[in-house]
């Protein structure tokens, strides 16, 4: 990635003023430094949110148009959440990203966006629609043959009029299809009327992270059109963070017609547990293993807010035992970004990304938790990586893994993200 991109040089002062919240003024910015002190990207490439704004006010357009810091900022919006003026540096960063020439942007993010545009699947890993259908069918057949409890398991695709249409992160069908099984089992357990769409099924949108608004819009339109065509009542975003934000925000930003409600799987986990349809409990946790939880920025702070964070904690406490849950501080909407979002994982900036993630690592270590739960794939990958890099002893896992573990329906091949202390617990009886 070049430090001197050949794209446009923005008039950052004009862009900043256009993005200013109603009734606010940069003249009224108190210069308190809350944004900089609360940003894990502060100091990377000699930049922080306050300095970025100050340089925009001073007309330092060339410097801001060339700093690689815009790719180290994860656009998590913690600065805006804390700012007394509501100034959102992430939007200015997004505009700066868009001004870089494509060939000078981080190649990993650009490749992921390009892969999404290859096919109506919108998969960042380049999985075509017909391949996704084939992978689902083959994985389902293996479960039906090897797990008698689920011999009649159904995984509908393109079922018109289903109540729910559910997306899937490309990582599962691409490299770990067995990780789709716990979600399917949960949906079967609660008797959900659901379907996948063969088009626009993928739960990622790296085009938004490139700063290319046309590409972002294209991804959202493909998905909205596919969901509308199925006439489903609710689109449920799986255990993934940014795909929720990119869809609902894209619908709003681009004025698209969405004939469905957008919801998070975490919300439904909580609802189904409260209704008694998912009768999970913590009886399996006989060793009183300790758990903490990561609030995905894209799902909590940037989208649903503390309601999602509260549902997340209700699910986790029910699963592991309230006495075995230790919250990070700060948490909920004030939680620190882990450094996996904003395309940072794909940007090829490992040194900077890990330096960013050290604050999250320290948060986790302070809890002394054995496990970290997070309903977001980028958070999962980043927290696992910084744990290994800095020498943490924790394990990172999905919610669906523990839900199925508690219900006694987690298959032998579905335990990749459990440590040795849990790997053999509640193995289903396949006699």
pLDDT in tens, 67-113: 999 999 999 999 999 998 888 999 999 999 999 999 999 999 999 99
Residues of the chain with pLDDT under 50: 4, 431
For residues 130 and 261, membership in a common domain is answered with yes
For residues 258 and 116, membership in a common domain is answered with yes
For residues 23 and 97, membership in a common domain is answered with yes
Provide the pairing of β-strand 234-237 with 164-166. parallel
For residues 285 and 390, membership in a common domain is answered with yes
**Tokens 């000699």 sit on residue:** 46
Q: Is 385 part of any domain?
A: yes
Integer Cα distance of 374 and 188 in angstroms:
22
Q: Is 391 helix (H, G, I), strand (E, B) or coil?
A: coil
Q: Which domain holds residue 361?
A: 279-407
pLDDT value at residue 1: 57
Integer Cα distance of 429 and 427 in angstroms:
7
DSSP 348: T
For residues 237 and 287, membership in a common domain is answered with no
Integer Cα distance of 108 and 308 in angstroms:
30
Residue 348 contacts residue 107 (beta carbons within 8 Å): yes
Tell me which of 59, 77, 104 is where a domain ends.
Answer: 104
Q: Is 423 part of any domain?
A: no
Q: Is 377 part of any domain?
A: yes
The per-residue pLDDT for range 195-217, each reduced to its tens digit, is 999 999 999 999 999 999 999 99
Q: Is 274 part of any domain?
A: no
Taking the chain, what is the end-to-end CA distance rounded to the nearest angstrom? Answer: 56
For residues 59 and 142, membership in a common domain is answered with no
For residues 25 and 82, membership in a common domain is answered with yes
Total count of domains within the chain: 3
For residues 212 and 249, membership in a common domain is answered with yes
For residues 343 and 265, membership in a common domain is answered with no
Integer Cα distance of 353 and 40 in angstroms:
10
Q: Is 24 part of any domain?
A: yes
Q: Is 289 part of any domain?
A: yes
- Joined together, the tokens standing for residue 270 give 């909580």
DSSP 21: P
Residues sharing a CB contact under 8 Å with residue 361, sequence separation 6 or more, in sequence order: 383, 386, 387, 390, 392
pTM of the predicted protein model: 0.95
pLDDT value at residue 19: 85
Q: Is 3 part of any domain?
A: no
The per-residue pLDDT for range 389-403, each reduced to its tens digit, is 999 999 999 999 999
For residues 229 and 350, membership in a common domain is answered with no
**Tokens 């990070």 sit on residue:** 328
Crossing angle (nearest 10°) for helices 265-274 and 181-189: 40
For residues 214 and 292, membership in a common domain is answered with no
For residues 227 and 150, membership in a common domain is answered with yes
The residues with which 291 forms a beta bridge, in sequence order, are: 325, 371
Give the number of other Cβ atoms within 10 Å of residue 276's Cβ: 8
Peptide bond into 341 cis (omega under 30): no
Integer Cα distance of 96 and 90 in angstroms:
10
pLDDT value at residue 431: 44
């Amino acid at each position: 990635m070049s430090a001197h991109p050949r794209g446009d040089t923005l008039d950052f002062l004009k862009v900043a003023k256009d993005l200013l919240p109603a009734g606010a003024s940069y003249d009224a910015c108190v210069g308190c430094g809350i944004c900089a002190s609360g940003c894990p990207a502060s100091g990377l490439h000699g930049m922080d949110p306050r300095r970025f704004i100050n340089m925009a006010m001073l007309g330092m357009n060339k410097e801001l148009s060339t700093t690689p810091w815009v790719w180290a900022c994860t656009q998590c919006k913690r600065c805006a959440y804390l700012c007394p003026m509501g100034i959102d540096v992430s939007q200015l960063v997004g505009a700066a990203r868009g001004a870089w020439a494509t060939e000078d942007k981080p190649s990993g993010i650009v490749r992921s966006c390009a892969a999404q545009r290859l096919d109506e699947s919108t998969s960042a890993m380049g999985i075509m629609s017909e391949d996704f259908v084939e992978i689902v069918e083959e994985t389902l057949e293996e479960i039906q043959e090897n797990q008698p409890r689920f011999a009649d398991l159904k995984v509908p695709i393109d079922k018109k009029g289903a109540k729910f249409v559910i997306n899937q992160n490309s990582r599962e069908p691409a490299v770990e299809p067995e990780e789709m099984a716990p979600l399917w089992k949960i949906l079967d357990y609660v008797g959900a009327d659901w379907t996948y769409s063969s088009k626009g099924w993928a739960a990622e949108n790296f085009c938004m992270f490139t700063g290319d608004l046309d590409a972002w819009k294209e991804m959202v339109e493909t998905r909205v059109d596919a969901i509308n065509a199925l006439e489903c009542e609710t689109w449920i975003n799986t255990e993934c963070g940014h795909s929720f934000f990119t869809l609902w925000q894209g619908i709003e930003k681009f004025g698209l017609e969405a004939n469905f409600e957008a919801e998070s799987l975490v919300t439904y986990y909580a609802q189904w547990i409260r209704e008694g349809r998912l009768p999970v409990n913590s009886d399996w946790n006989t060793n009183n293993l300790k758990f903490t939880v990561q609030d995905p920025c894209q799902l909590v702070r940037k989208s649903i807010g503390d309601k999602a964070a509260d549902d997340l904690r209700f699910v986790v406490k029910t699963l592991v035992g309230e006495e075995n849950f230790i919250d990070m501080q700060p948490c909920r909407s004030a939680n620190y970004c882990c450094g996996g979002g904003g395309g940072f994982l794909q940007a090829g900036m490992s040194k900077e990304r890990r330096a960013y993630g050290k604050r999250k690592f320290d948060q986790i270590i302070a809890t002394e938790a054995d496990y970290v739960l997070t309903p977001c794939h980028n958070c999962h990958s980043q927290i696992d990586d910084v744990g290994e890099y800095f020498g943490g002893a924790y394990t990172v896992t999905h919610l669906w893994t523990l839900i199925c573990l508690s219900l006694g329906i987690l298959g032998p091949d579905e335990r990749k993200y459990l440590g040795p202390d849990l790997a053999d617990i509640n193995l289903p009886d396949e006699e």
